[in-house]
Amino acid sequence: MLFPVGFIVEFAKKIIKSTEEIFNTMIFMEISAGDPLTEGKEVLDCHISAMIGLTGDFSSMLAIHCPGTVGMAITGEMLGMDVEEVDADVKDTLGEIANMVAGGIKQAFAAENVRLELSIPTTVSGKSYTVSSPTKSNRVIIPFDLEQGRFFVEMKYNLT
């Protein structure tokens, strides 16, 4: 069952607001959101993905996808240090950002009496991998640009 189009727009707004709040208040990096993508197969030139599940009144998975250089830049800003490789710090930082963005989305839905719980984040990295979900899942991908490049916040979701 697909969510109504209006829900997808509101979902995208929640993703953008939560992501912008985290980057403005915790990481101190300027980001700008692009237009949401909801259809088609997007090839994301990314080497790191941090994912977290949300379950409750509906089931979803939030993922942050980025190239290694962007992940290193974000980690360097957040931790206040030079980062020269995709290491445990980068993976942990992106997992924590996914957790905080998902927490903001959970809070926004709670204000509308929609109950969600978060799982533990998981991070994968490599040169070639695929993140898959059931074919009947809905999704929205928001591209975000920052000085060092582009990253994506993706939400895949199903009715429970």
Task: Write out pLDDT tens, residues 108-139.
Answer: 999 999 999 999 999 999 887 666 665 667 88
Residue 7, pLDDT > 90, answer no
- Are 38 and 117 in contact by the 8 Å Cβ rule? The answer is no
Q: Please provide the average confidence, as pLDDT, over all residues in the chain.
A: 89
Which domains are seen in the chain, by residue range? 5-159 (3.40.1550.10)
The CA-to-CA distance between both ends of the chain, in Å, stands at 10
Residue 2, pLDDT > 80, answer no
Query: Cβ contacts of residue 15 below 8 Å, gap of 6+?
Result: 62, 101, 105, 140, 142, 153, 155
Mean pLDDT score, 65-91? 96
State the pLDDT at residue 48: 95
pTM equals 0.90
List C-alpha distances in Å: 69 to 21, 52, 72, 79, 117. Answer: 22, 22, 5, 15, 31
How does pLDDT run across 100-113, given as a tens digit for each residue?
A: 999 999 999 999 99
How does pLDDT run across 13-72, given as a tens digit for each residue?
A: 999 999 999 999 999 999 999 999 876 555 577 899 999 999 999 889 999 999 999 999
Nearest to 38 by CA among 76, 9, 72: 9
